[in-house]
Structure formats: C-alpha cells, structure tokens
Amino acid sequence: MQAGSITKVLLVEDDEDDYILTRALLTEIPGQQFVLDWVKTFQAGLEALCHNEHDVALVDYRLGAQNGVELLREAIERNCNPPIILLTGSGQHQVDVEAMNAGAADYLVKGQLRADSLERSVRYAIQRRRASALAAFDQARLASFGAEVGLALTQRDSMEAILERCTRAMSHYLHAPVAQIATFDARHQQFEVRAATNALENGAEAASQVPRVRLDLKSLAEGEPVLIRQVHNDQRLAEPQWARKHGIISFAAFPLVLEDKLVGLMSLFSRELLSEQTPQELGSVAHGISLCIERKRSEEALDASEVKYRSVVENIKEIIFQMDEFGHWSFLNPAWKSLTGFEVAPTLGTFFLEYLHEEEREHNRHIFLQLVQRKLRYCRYETRFLTHDGKVRWVEAYAQPALSSDGALLG
C-alpha cells in the first residue's frame, strides 16, 4: 500500500463490537486511508466479495451456522478476487491450518490484534495478491506470445514474411518498439537482418538505420543470451546518440542455436527497463524459429539448385530424357524439338521406338529390356532417329535405370 492511498476493506462480522474495534484499529494506522464496509452474514459477505470492489476482506471464522473457511472456499470457487484474512476469537492451530489450506491470505486472532499487526497483514495480503495477479498476467502474455509465434511458423510463406510476423509478436508482447530477427552467415561471420518491426517515429525509421550492437560470437554460439539494461553508456552500442534520440533504454538478445550451430539472433530495443527475464522470454520461442530458419534455408537452397538445374537442362543442346518402365517418354528437354523437329508436349506418353529407324528398333528394344530387367547398369551406343520431316539423324545414346531411394525401378 502506498502512503496516502485509499484501501477499501470489507469486514464480514456478525458482532458489532468487533466491527467498532476493527474500525478503530484502522484509524490508528498512520499515513493510510481506509474505507471500511461492514456486512453481518455469510450470504451478504459472499455477495460483497464477488462484486470485487474491495482490496482486502476481513472475515470472522464464526458466521452463524456457517463459518469463514466455508465462505473463503465458496468465494474462491466463484473467482472472487479480494484476498481474505480470517479472524477468530481463539488461536487454534487446527483452524489456522484449515484456513491457510483453504487459501486464506492470513490468519489473525482477535484478542491479539493491534493496529501495526493488522496493517502488516493487510499490506502483505494485497501485495501477494497483486504479485499473483501480475504473475498470472505474465503467464497469459507469454502463452499468447508463444501461440502467435507458433501460428506464424506454420504459415506456408517466405522466410521474411514468417519472421516478420514473429517480430511483430516480439514487439507487442515484450513491449519493445524495435524487434529484429537476423540470420547468421557462417562463411562471412556476420548477421543479416531478415525481418524487423520498428515503431519509432511513426515507423519512419528503416530497419537498416537501427544501430549495430557489438556482440561476442563465441558466447552467442554457446547459447548465451544478452541483456543491456542501460544502453546509453554501454560501448557495445555503436550509436548511443540514436538511443538517446528515441528514448531507448534497454537491449536484449537471444541467440538462435540449432545442434550447436549458430543460425541467427532475436533482439529487442525497449523504452522500458527490461527485466532479467526478458532474454528467457525470447528464448521460449527460439527453438521453433531456429527450425524455421534452417527449413527455409534448405528450401531456398533446393529452389536455387532446381533453378540452376532447370536452366542447364533447358539450354543444353543434348537431349535429356526419361521413360517409364514401359518405354513411354515421361520427360524431354527442349533439345528434343531442336534435334528431331517434334514438339515436346505431344511426344510425352508415346512409345520411344516410334521415333527410331526401323532397322534400329529391335536392337533398342533389346537394350531397353536389359536395362529394365537390371541386366545392364548403363549403356552407351549410336543409333538412328527419324526426324519430323522424315530424315534420319545419327545420335549417341546414353541410358541407365532410374531408381527410387528404396531401389524400385522408376524408369
């Protein structure tokens, strides 16, 4: 409780003398203002508790046919918020244990009650409840953060688009106007920012204008997070004037490490004093983001390889072909038309012997069967093709069986 603040107290007590005593004790507490509401019955107390209008409740153990512990349990079951301090006329250990097990914030004996002990009990009860509420809020915040990042990682999109969703979640849930995710280039030993959320100056600042922070790569590779609570006088920040200009106070980063390999870095700049828990909050989603980066890198490498292969296949002057196990064309590159005059699309699905000189067909049929039956691992020979205009063209053919990963014949 802060000095000069008003604390609303609910008293559930069927004895007016105890009400008068409690009111008097509260007035004796220096530097504090209390508003005391008094109800006499179990039901009235339950209704008042569930209105959630009080900072703390003082509940007598004896309330007619029912007792304060029963009221406490009923209030908790109904999600009534105020912390409850149980009052009793005698210091019975059994009642004390029962009250605390039921969820009471404290247990006080009326005959031993003084202003200072009442103030201390009320203050601690309120502080613990606020700490509990804050912890519950933080837990819900982190759960939402993890869920939003998890959803982003399931999207079928580019690495940049996925990571940008992640940086927006980082900025929102971790209260940081600048959030970045960078990938690590092991060859050049440097980071490349792949996504950033920047809310400074109405979003006018580009990610490239965010200053670099000098970090130890060896420590990052070992999974060590970074927290700079006061960046203004920290030599690791390349441009401290940038931080002063935008009111930036703190910096936090968490390395993205996968199988002992540094793959990237998550980082934040905040106008708030970041807590010691912030790097670990970043770390709660780090593994999923690391997996995403590696997966997307593999996809990018595969795409680049496919583009390169396609370029070679489409521009090479030799015919590259594939047949199914029955001898029907299943793939032909553009060189097919250049050398034979036949269009590729109509040719696919037709029998390969139709395009050979009739004197070559039996020999080619024999070779094809030898390959399909695995009696030949490969073959290389010359043969004659018929072109679209009826001419004969000698070609050198090279062929081998196409097998799946488990050794099955594909063609």
| pLDDT tens readout for residues 14-24 | 889 889 998 99
- Give buried/exposed letters for 89-104 (b at 16+ CB in 10 A, else e): eeeeeebbebbeebeb
Inform me whether the pLDDT recorded for 38 exceeds 60.
Answer: yes
Helix (H, G, I), strand (E, B) or coil at 131: helix
Strands 6-12 and 56-60: parallel
Please state, in angstroms and rounded to a whole number, the distance separating the CA atoms of residues 17 and 348.
101
Inform me whether the pLDDT recorded for 102 exceeds 80.
Answer: no
HSE toward the beta carbon, residue 136, CA cutoff 13 A:
7
Indicate the residue among 271, 299, 327 that finishes a domain: 299
pTM (predicted TM-score): 0.60
Residue at 255 is within a domain:
yes
- What is the pLDDT, as a whole number, of residue 101? 79
**pLDDT exceeding 70 applies to what percent of the chain?**
93
Average pLDDT over residues 33-44: 91
Q: Domain span at residue 373? A: 316-399
- Average pLDDT over all residues of the chain: 86
Q: Are residues 294 and 165 in the same domain?
A: yes
Q: Are residues 19 and 97 in the same domain?
A: yes
- Give buried/exposed letters for 181-194 (b at 16+ CB in 10 A, else e): bbbbeeeeeebebb
- Looking at residue 352, which CATH number applies to its domain? 3.30.450.20
Residue at 211 is within a domain:
yes
Residue 91: pLDDT band (50, 70, 90) is low
- What is the pLDDT, as a whole number, of residue 191? 92
Please state, in angstroms and rounded to a whole number, the distance separating the CA atoms of residues 92 and 199.
59
Inform me whether the pLDDT recorded for 208 exceeds 70.
Answer: no
- What is the pLDDT, as a whole number, of residue 408? 77
Highest mean pLDDT among 132-141, 194-203, 335-344: 335-344
Q: Are residues 281 and 211 in the same domain?
A: yes
- What is the pLDDT, as a whole number, of residue 147? 92
Inform me whether the pLDDT recorded for 204 exceeds 50.
Answer: no
Inform me whether the pLDDT recorded for 200 exceeds 50.
Answer: yes
Residue at 405 is within a domain:
no
- Looking at residue 254, which CATH number applies to its domain? 3.30.450.40
Q: 208 is written with which tokens?
A: 């490239």
Inform me whether the pLDDT recorded for 218 exceeds 60.
Answer: yes
Residue 119: Cβ within 10 Å count = 20
* Number of domains the chain contains: 3
What angle, 0 to 180 degrees and rounded to 10, lies between the N-to-C axes of helices 68-77 and 42-50?
30
Inform me whether the pLDDT recorded for 121 exceeds 90.
Answer: no
| pLDDT tens readout for residues 292-322 | 988 888 777 676 666 676 776 677 888 888 8
Residue at 142 is within a domain:
no
Q: Are residues 82 and 24 in the same domain?
A: yes
Residue at 196 is within a domain:
yes
